[in-house]
Amino acid sequence: MSWQSAVVQKGWISIRLGASTCKAETAFCIEPGWISAQELPCAIPGSRHTEVPWVYTDARPLPPPEYPPHVVYVPQGLITSRTAFGSLHTRCLEKGLALKFVTVASTPNMQVLLVLVAGHQPLLPTSTWGRTSSHSGQEVTRPFQTQLVGASPHHHHHYHDPRQQQQQQPVSNAIATAAVARVAATPETSEVLQQAAGHDMTCLDILTSAASATTAVPVPVAAQARKATGPAPARKTQACFNGYFLLFKPERDLQPGQPYNIWWKRRNSERRNRDRDILIWREDLLQMGPRQPNGLPQSEQAVRLQGYWDGYSSQCGAAANPRLLHCSQVQSVMSDHAFLYVTRPWWPRPGDPQRTLEPSRSDQLDGFLRECNCGEMKCGKLRARQELKRLREEGVLYQLEVRRGSCLGNEHLGVFAGEPIQAGRFLFEYVGVWLLDGEAEAREKIYEPAGLHYLYDLSHRHEVLEKREVRRISVGVGGGSRGGGGGGVCKKRRANRAVAADDLHAEIPLVVDATNVGNVARFVNHRCEGANLVSVNVCMGGLDENHMTIMIRTLRDVQPGEELTLDYQAGLEPEEKERIRAEPEGLVPCRCGAASCLGFVFPHIDRAVRTWSGKARRNAVGTCRLPITMAIASRATTTPTTSTSSISDSGIGEGCTLAVEAADATATAAGSVASTGRPVPSSRACKISDQLDRVEMMKVDLGSSEQQLQHQQLHNQPNHEDTIEDDEVKGYCCVSAEAGNISLGGSGASQTLRDRPGSGSVGSDSDSGKAGGVIEGAVASCFLEVVSVVSPDPQSRNADCEDVIEVSCAAVVDARTYGHGPGRQLRYWGGGRRFGSEEG
Ligand SMILES: C[S@@+](CC[C@H](N)C(=O)[O-])C[C@H]1O[C@@H](n2cnc3c(N)ncnc32)[C@H](O)[C@@H]1O
C-alpha cells in the first residue's frame, strides 16, 4: 500500500490548530475521511480531549507528504502526560504533520509508543524545530524532545502528573533500543512499515526520560523515499459522528442500522464529558483480540471495531439526518461474541426469546430511580441514586486509564486513576448485560474456560428481597409455613404464591455480564485488603422496579497513577473466607499482594455468597454429594406444574431458613417425600417427576443449640460413619414435596423443630406427618443442593413406599460447629451410606 493510499484509506489527516478553547464539543461534524487528529487525545493515555485545542471544522485532508513518514518512539512517562502529548501534537500540527499512534511495547521501566509522523518536512533526530514556553513564560527553543515535556504555548496545565517526575530517571539507550526493536518486530509495526514501504522511514527520536538525551535508533525498514503525489480526495458524505473514531475507513456509505467499519471506537459525545477520559481503546483491543504467545494481538484486523448506528437523535444540527454512533464493538477471543463499549446497561428485550439487547435509556429510567429499600444493603441512598442518574447522563467525570501495569502482571488490565480523586466519589456504573440466573450459569460455563471473568452477580443482594417475599408467601398464608399444612385453598394459594416467588427470581436479571458489553468497570481488579473502591447497589426502575444496579465509588482519596481496586469478596462473612482459604482449589489464585490476601479470587464477584453454586461450591470444604435414598409412599398425587418449583420456608423461628429452587422442573410433587432407609410413619403420597432433575437448595440454617448438641453427641460416637446406612441415628435427610413446594426437611432434631412455631416445613409437617430427617441438623450453616432425582427404584427397601427416588445432596458444613477441633472437616460420602468426619 502506498503512503498516499494509506493516508486516504485510513483517513489520516492533518488539522489546523485552533484557539486555546476547544470547540470540539460543539463543532463535531466532520466529513468521513476527515477523521483526524481528534483520535490523538483519545489515543494517548493521560491526554484530555478538552485540553487539546482542535477546531474540527478546520480539518482538512492530509496533504501528500513531501517527505516520508517518520517514526517516533516515546517513553511512557512522556506520553502519558497530557502536557507532553499536547505539546508534541501541537508541534506536529504546526508543522503540518499528522501523527498516528501505532503501538506500544514495554520494557521493565519504559513503555514505548511508536508514533508515525506523516512528514512534510525532513525531521531529523537532532531537530530543534519549534519552541516552547518555560514555566516562567519565556519562550525558549529546545530540541524536539524537550518540547514534549514543556508546556504548550496554547494551553496551560495546572495538572501535576507525578509520572513526569519519572522522566528525570534516565533510561539507558540499550533499554530504549531493545524496546524499539521489540516494537518494530510486532505485526502492527510491520504493517505500518509495509504501508510506508517505498518511503524513507526515519526514526526521529528516542525520547528518553532524561529530557536532554536524544538517541536515534534506526528502524529496520528503510526504503527509498518516494514523494506522494496528488491530494487525498475529500469525502462528500456529510455525517455526524458523535462518537469518536480512530483510523476510520470510509469504504462504503454509512447507513443507519448497519454496522460500519471503523478502526476503533471513540466515546459517545452526545453530551459533554461522556466517558471523556476512559482511555480504554487500545488496551482493550489488545485484551480482547486473539493474541500471539507474546500477548500481542494477531493483527489489527482481528481486533477491528465496528460502530453501530442507532436511532438516537444527535444534537449535532449540522447533520442532515443526524445519527449517533452509539457504541462500538470489537471481536473478542470468542469468535461469535463481540465486545461493545457502552455507557449504559443493556437488558434483554422482554418476551424476546433471542434476548435481543436493548440499551437502557435515561428517559426510561428517569422517575424510576428510587432509593434502595433493600434494608440489608448498604446502599448510598439518595446520593447514589442521584449519582447514577448523573453517570448515565454525563458519563465518567474522572480521568481514568485502562492499561496493563497492575500487580497482576502484564497480561492483565487494570484501571488507574489519571488524576486525584477524592473519597466518596461515584466513578462509574458496572455496565453490562443483565442476565437471568440460569443464563448466567450457562454463560459462565463458556466464559470460564476462555478465561473471561466479567460476571457480576447481585443475586445475594437480591436474595434479601426474595427471602422477604418468600417469607411473606410462606408465613402469610395459612398461619405459617408448616409444609404440607393447611388444606385445599390455602395450599393452592401458597402454591401460586410460591410460583410467583419463583417468577420473581426467574424474571429479574441479577447478574451483570460485562464480557461482551461493558465499560471501564469490567477492568477493575480485586484486592483483598486496602481496596480503594467499593460497590453500591441501587434499586432502580426501568423494566422492573426491582432491578438493581451497581455503582462504584471511591472509599478513600486516590492519587494519580494509583490502581483502582475493589474487594470482590466484600460480601463474604469472615467464616466463609476462612473456610475457603482452607481449600481454594479451583479458584483463581489472588495476586493482589495484600498482607491479608485470602489467596484466591472468585471467578466472579460475590457469586459464592449467594448459593455456593458452581465451582466454588463444589470445591468448598466439606462438600460432596450425598445420594440419599428417598421413600415415596405413592405416586398417585402428582401435580404437574409448568414453572420452576421452589422450596421455601419460613426463616422464622430459631435457625430455620431455607429456600430451594428447582431449575427446569416441569412437574413437581404433591405430598411428601420422606427420607432414607428409615420408614417414615404416615408419610403422604408423593411422586416427584423424573423431569425434576435438579433441585437446588440455596441455604439452610439449622443452628439451634439442641441440634448442635445432638450433632456433637452423634460425632462423639466411636463409629459414626455408617449412621445413615444403619438407620440408627436420628439424623437423616428428608425432602418433602407438595404442590409447588418442595421442602427439605426435618432434622434429627425433628422433634424440636416440629414443635417450634413458625419453623415451617422443615421437618415439621404435621399435616403430612413426615418426620423429616435432615442431614444431621447440628450444623450452624448448611448448604444443600439436591442435584438429581432419579427414577423410582423398584428395589426400595422401604416397605412403606412404592417408589424410591434418589436425591443427591451436597452439603457444606462448617467443621467448627462440630467440636472436632481445628482441621477436622465433616464430610458426606457418596452413596449416601457414609456420614462422618475425617481429618481435614
Ligand atoms: C473483572 S476482571 C478484571 C480485569 C482483568 N484484570 C482483565 O485484564 O480484564 C476479573 C478477573 O481479573 C483477574 N483478577 C482480578 N483481580 C485479581 C487478583 N487480585 N489476583 C488475580 N487475578 C485477579 C481474575 O482473573 C478475575 O477473574
What is the whole-number distance in angstroms between the Cα of residue 175 and the centre of ligand 1? Answer: 29
The pLDDT score that the predictor gives to residue 406 is 75
Residue entry with cell 424474571 = 507
Using most ligand atoms within 8 A of CB, pick from 430, 529, 588, 607 the residue to mutate for ligand 1: 588
Angle, CA 667 vertex, CA 662 and CA 668 arms, to 5° = 65
Ligand 1 closest atom vs CA 412: 8
The pLDDT score that the predictor gives to residue 407 is 76
CA-nearest residue for atom 22, ligand 1, is: 590
Q: With a cut of 50, say whether residue 405 has pLDDT above it.
A: yes
What is the pLDDT confidence band of residue 430, given thresholds at 50, 70 and 90?
confident
Alpha-carbon gap, residue 666 to 644, rounded angstroms:
7
- Is residue 717 a part of any domain in this protein? yes
Single out the residue of 56, 46, 47 nearest to residue 18, CA to CA: 56
What is the pLDDT confidence band of residue 18, given thresholds at 50, 70 and 90?
very low
Ligand 1 closest atom vs CA 526: 16
Ligand 1 closest atom vs CA 565: 16
Tell which of 215, 245, 269 closes a domain: 215
Angle, CA 738 vertex, CA 736 and CA 744 arms, to 5° = 25
CA-nearest residue for atom 10, ligand 1, is: 453
For residues 778-787, average pLDDT: 28
- Is residue 372 a part of any domain in this protein? no
Alpha-carbon gap, residue 158 to 664, rounded angstroms:
60
For residues 428-450, average pLDDT: 75
Alpha-carbon gap, residue 683 to 802, rounded angstroms:
12
The answer to whether 692 and 670 are in contact (CB under 8 A) is: no
Single out the residue of 811, 817, 804, 819 nearest to residue 835, CA to CA: 811
Alpha-carbon gap, residue 539 to 545, rounded angstroms:
7
What is the whole-number distance in angstroms between the Cα of residue 669 and the centre of ligand 1? Answer: 43
Neighbours of 108 (CB within 10 A): 6
For residue range 665-709, list pLDDT tens digits in order: 222 222 223 222 232 222 222 222 222 222 322 222 333 334 333
Q: Average per-residue pLDDT in the chain?
A: 41
The residue with greater pLDDT, 495 or 550, is 550
Q: Residue 591: CB within 6 Å of ligand 1?
A: yes
Tell which of 162, 194, 215 closes a domain: 215
Which DSSP state fits 562? P
The pLDDT score that the predictor gives to residue 599 is 80
The answer to whether 57 and 114 are in contact (CB under 8 A) is: no
Sort 563 into a burial class: Cβ within 10 Å, 0-12 / 13-18 / 19+: buried
Q: With a cut of 80, say whether residue 29 has pLDDT above it.
A: no
378 grid coordinates? 448498604
Q: By three-state DSSP, how is residue 673 classified?
A: strand
What is the whole-number distance in angstroms between the Cα of residue 411 and the centre of ligand 1? Answer: 10
Alpha-carbon gap, residue 246 to 343, rounded angstroms:
19
Q: Residue 531: CB within 6 Å of ligand 1?
A: no
The pLDDT score that the predictor gives to residue 393 is 60
CA-nearest residue for atom 19, ligand 1, is: 592
For residue range 703-746, list pLDDT tens digits in order: 333 433 333 333 333 222 222 222 222 222 333 332 223 333 33
Considering only CA atoms, give the Rg of the chain. 32
- Is residue 681 a part of any domain in this protein? yes
Q: With a cut of 90, say whether residue 214 has pLDDT above it.
A: no
The answer to whether 22 and 58 are in contact (CB under 8 A) is: no
What is the whole-number distance in angstroms between the Cα of residue 588 and the centre of ligand 1? Answer: 9
Neighbours of 64 (CB within 10 A): 17
Using most ligand atoms within 8 A of CB, pick from 291, 401, 525 the residue to mutate for ligand 1: 525
What is the pLDDT confidence band of residue 391, given thresholds at 50, 70 and 90?
confident
Alpha-carbon gap, residue 224 to 425, rounded angstroms:
55
What is the whole-number distance in angstroms between the Cα of residue 524 and the centre of ligand 1? Answer: 7
Domain ranges, residue 661: 625-839
Alpha-carbon gap, residue 515 to 495, rounded angstroms:
37
Q: Residue 592: CB within 6 Å of ligand 1?
A: yes
What is the whole-number distance in angstroms between the Cα of residue 526 and the centre of ligand 1? Answer: 6
What is the pLDDT confidence band of residue 513, given thresholds at 50, 70 and 90?
confident
For residue range 587-627, list pLDDT tens digits in order: 778 888 888 887 877 643 333 333 333 333 333 222 222 22
What is the whole-number distance in angstroms between the Cα of residue 595 and the centre of ligand 1? Answer: 18
Q: By three-state DSSP, how is residue 196 classified?
A: coil
The pLDDT score that the predictor gives to residue 558 is 94
- Is residue 731 a part of any domain in this protein? yes
Alpha-carbon gap, residue 646 to 658, rounded angstroms:
10
What is the pLDDT confidence band of residue 499, given thresholds at 50, 70 and 90?
very low
The pLDDT score that the predictor gives to residue 497 is 34
State how far Cα 250 lies from the chain centre: 33
- Is residue 562 a part of any domain in this protein? no
Q: Residue 430: CB within 6 Å of ligand 1?
A: no
Could you tell me which residues are beta bridge partners of residue 297?
A: 291
Of all residues in the chain, the percent with pLDDT exceeding 90 is 1
The answer to whether 576 and 617 are in contact (CB under 8 A) is: no
The total domain count for the chain is: 2
State how far Cα 751 lies from the chain centre: 47
For residue range 441-481, list pLDDT tens digits in order: 777 777 776 667 788 877 655 443 443 333 222 222 222 22
- Is residue 648 a part of any domain in this protein? yes
The pLDDT score that the predictor gives to residue 431 is 81
Tell which of 191, 215, 239 closes a domain: 215
Single out the residue of 696, 357, 286 nearest to residue 512, CA to CA: 357
- Is residue 184 a part of any domain in this protein? yes
The answer to whether 494 and 476 are in contact (CB under 8 A) is: no
Could you tell me which residues are beta bridge partners of residue 110?
A: 107
The pLDDT score that the predictor gives to residue 416 is 78
What is the pLDDT confidence band of residue 656, given thresholds at 50, 70 and 90?
very low
Alpha-carbon gap, residue 279 to 679, rounded angstroms:
67
What is the whole-number distance in angstroms between the Cα of residue 520 and the centre of ligand 1? Answer: 13
The answer to whether 562 and 419 are in contact (CB under 8 A) is: no
What is the whole-number distance in angstroms between the Cα of residue 287 and the centre of ligand 1? Answer: 12
The pLDDT score that the predictor gives to residue 557 is 94
Q: Which amino acid is at 323?
A: R
The pLDDT score that the predictor gives to residue 532 is 94
Q: Which of 234-243, 380-389, 711-720, 817-826 is predicted most confidently? A: 380-389
The pLDDT score that the predictor gives to residue 559 is 92
- Is residue 293 a part of any domain in this protein? no
